[in-house]
C-alpha cells in the first residue's frame, strides 16, 4: 500500500516492515527536514527520500520507511516533471534566489522567438555543470557547505536527459516552463545556462516538482496531514491493550 492523499487512516500500516509515502514538500523545508519529521512521527529510524528537493522548491517527495528504503533507487531512476519560472537578466552564485542577485542586464531586445529558440538547445542529452550550492559530496564533504564557506571547486559537466522543455508563458523578465528530465538534472543549472544562451543571465525564480514517473503531487499528502494521521494511529494503538484486557475480564 502507498500512503497518499486519499489515505484516511494508518491502521494497516507497518512502518518497520516498510511503507511508501507521497509528500508535497513545503517551501523553505529541506528534504531532510521532511524525513526527520516523519522519523519522529512514526518512531522508525530507517527513513529516506527518493530525490532531493532544494529548500526553495516545493512538490512531490517520495519517502520510504523500514525495508521499503530498498526501493528508493527504483524511484530515483524515474523521470521527474517540474514547473517553475526563470528570472532573466540576473545571476547568482546559487543559480536561484537563495544568494544575492548580481547584475541588471537589459533584456528589452530579447524577443519571444529568441526564448523559444534557446529552449531547443536544452532538449535531449545535454551536458551541464552542477551548482556549487548542491547536495553533491566530494570526498565526503557537501559542496553546499564548501560554497557557504566561499570555496569554489571546478566541477566536471555531467550528461543528463531532458525529454520535454515547454515554455508555458513569457512575461519578461519571467519565463514560465515545464520540464521532464532524468535523475541528476539540476533545473538551476538549466536556468543559469538558459540565461547564458540568451546573453543576459538567468536564475531560477521558482520550482515545483509535479511528478516522479507516474506518481503525481496531486496525490500527495502535506506533512501536517500525515502528522494528523499518525496522531490518530497512535491513539488507536494505545487503546488496543486496554480493549484486550476488558475482553479477557
Please state, in angstroms and as integers, the Cα–Cα distance from residue 247 to each residue in 25, 146, 214, 234, 237, following that order.
43, 61, 46, 21, 16
The strand pairing partners of 88, in sequence order, are: 202
- Could you please report the per-residue DSSP string of 92-144? -TTSBSSS--B-----TT--HHHHHHHHGGGSEEEEEPPPSSSS-EETTEEHH
The number of C-alpha atoms within 13 Å of 74 and in the hemisphere containing its C-beta is 9
The values of phi and psi at residue 66, to 5°, are 55, -135
Which are the catalytic amino acids?
54
Amino acid at each position: 500500500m502507498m500512503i497518499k492523499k486519499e489515505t484516511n487512516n494508518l491502521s494497516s500500516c507497518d512502518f518497520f516492515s516498510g511503507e511508501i509515502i507521497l509528500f508535497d514538500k513545503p517551501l523553505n523545508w529541506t528534504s531532510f527536514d521532511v524525513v526527520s519529521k516523519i522519523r519522529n512521527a512514526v518512531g522508525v529510524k530507517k527513513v529516506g527520500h527518493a530525490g532531493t528537493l532544494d529548500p526553495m522548491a516545493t512538490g512531490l517527495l517520495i519517502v520510504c520507511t523500514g525495508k521499503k528504503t530498498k526501493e528508493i533507487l527504483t524511484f530515483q531512476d524515474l523521470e521527474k516533471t517540474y514547473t517553475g519560472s526563470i528570472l532573466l537578466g540576473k545571476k547568482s552564485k546559487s543559480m536561484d534566489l537563495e544568494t544575492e542577485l548580481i547584475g541588471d542586464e537589459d533584456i528589452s531586445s530579447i524577443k519571444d522567438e529568441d526564448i523559444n529558440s534557446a529552449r531547443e538547445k536544452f532538449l535531449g542529452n545535454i551536458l551541464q555543470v552542477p551548482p556549487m550550492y548542491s547536495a553533491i559530496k566530494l570526498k565526503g564533504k557537501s559542496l553546499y557547505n564548501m560554497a557557504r564557506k566561499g570555496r569554489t571547486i571546478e566541477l566536471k559537466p555531467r550528461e543528463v536527459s531532458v525529454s520535454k522543455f515547454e515554455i508555458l508563458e513569457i512575461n519578461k523578465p519571467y519565463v514560465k516552463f515545464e520540464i521532464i528530465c532524468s535523475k541528476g538534472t539540476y533545473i538551476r543549472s538549466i536556468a543559469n545556462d538558459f540565461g547564458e544562451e540568451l546573453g543576459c543571465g538567468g536564475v531560477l525564480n521558482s520550482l515545483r516538482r509535479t511528478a516522479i514517473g507516474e506518481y503525481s503531487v496531486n496525490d500527495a499528502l502535506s506533512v501536517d496531514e500525515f502528522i494528523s494521521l499518525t496522531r490518530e494511529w497512535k491513539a488507536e494503538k494505545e487503546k488496543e491493550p486496554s480493549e484486550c484486557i476488558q475482553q479477557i475480564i
